[in-house]
Structure 1
């Protein structure tokens, strides 16, 4: 990639977008993983992760130091999510350590906007704090995706 950029600079080509460099941020969610996004419709900052996470406040978006959960009302909290595991549901919890109200995302399912998710304590947008593959304690949560 550096060699291509050097050649373009040498011949005086300005304003050229290198598709491969941009594509990394927009890459598809990895098979068997969960992907969390800071904006609705799978946009913004992204975390591509193959593990259950008990506290989003201790996990950062890929390539950043920005946590998935930064406190209620933060614009950078997770707002959309994909479940690319074709065999497992993923539960998303209001509290850390897989506790509190929750909802589930079906295998290969997606939730494009957490504002559309309703929990007994209010909406889920910008307030969710952990997720777990194959949940055993979220069997009554609404299923999305």
Structure 2
């Protein structure tokens, strides 16, 4: 009888800890600023991104419910999927349209496409998102502030 009670208590504790960690994972991903934020490119590889005024910004947005990524690479539109794993793991599967552009726009686009393909870790610090391939930095983004409409 003691053995049965002991087994029941262990099983109950295991189930409770599993459901708690599962809820914590859902909560972390649901409330994460990673998804739902429009991330503006700041660096692709070692190159800072400084677009001239009036140019459409290179940016991406991740959708938590669908695990889709959409954005603009500087010349072409970006679409695809992402997957989160562990506490800071991420992978991207991306595709883009294939218009030709200026050499500068194509360089940024190629650098960012490579960074997204290579990335397997991320870190968010305030309004900054950094992507890494293992421990090597590959890209950085800044959360784009929503503009409030003027009355």
Query: TM-score, length-normalised on structure 2?
Result: 0.33
Query: TM-score, length-normalised on structure 1?
Result: 0.34
Structure with more helix by fraction:
2
Which structure has the greater CA radius of gyration? Answer: 2
